[in-house]
Structures are given as C-alpha cells and as structure tokens.
Amino acid sequence: MPLSEQEQRLLEEMERSLYHNDADFVATVGASRLRPNYRSIAVGVLMAVAGIAALIAGVAIQQLWLGILGFVVMFGGVLVAITPSKAVRRSAAASAGRMPRQGRASSAASGQGFMDRLNERWDRRQDGQR
C-alpha cells in the first residue's frame, strides 16, 4: 500500500532530522560494514579459473575424476571469493553494537531521545491541524 503525501512528507522530515541530529550514527549505520577483501577475491577467482580448466580437461580426456575435482575446485573458488573474511565479520559485529561516544553525549545532554522529540513534533503538528 503506497504512502499518502502527508506520510511521505513526514517520513522525509524524519529522515532529514535523523541525518541532522545523529550524523555519527547515520555514518556508522549507513556505511557498508563489509568491505571486500581483495586478496580473497583474487584467490577465489584464480581457483575458479583453475577449476574450470580442470573440468574442461577432464571432459576432453574423458577422466571423470578430473572433471569432478575441477568442479569442486571451481565451486570452492567461488565460495572463497564471495565469503567475507572472519576479521571483517568481527569488526562489523563490533561496530554494529556500539554507538559513537559523541552521539550518546549529545542525546544525553539534550535530556530527550530522538523518538521523544519526534513524538512531540507529531503531537504539535496534529494539534495544529485540528
């Protein structure tokens, strides 16, 4: 179900407010936490190419075991290329669980949370429309 114009405006205003008030949080959440590991991509591509070569060689010389081995190496290479490394996953999990110190201080200093301010603005807007 599509949003009404009022709901779209409210959503856009909430997004602008979030970007304005919690820029550090937006930068942490919005940024890609899983950066590609180019070394594993290169190794995976090389394994996949070697696997394809072994698969073709196994078919050409009619050796079933070589074709199966080539397919397994090719499949493993693709998995190595697309799977993120353990270090990247650990750092992503650590960064997802913490909020920047500056963001916590600013929300604590104001005495109100982001959602409280949004609720107050919503109430003021609803009172003005009645």
Q: Please, where are the H alpha helices in the chain?
A: 5-21, 23-30, 38-60, 64-82, 86-96, 101-110, 114-129
3-state secondary structure of 121: helix
pLDDT in tens, 2-12: 778 888 888 88
pLDDT in tens, 54-73: 999 999 999 999 999 999 99
Q: Where are the domains of the chain?
A: 1-35+89-130, 38-83
Side-chain-facing half-sphere of 109: CA atoms under 13 Å: 7
Residue 42 near residue 77, CB atoms below 8 Å: no
Write down the pLDDT at residue 66. 92
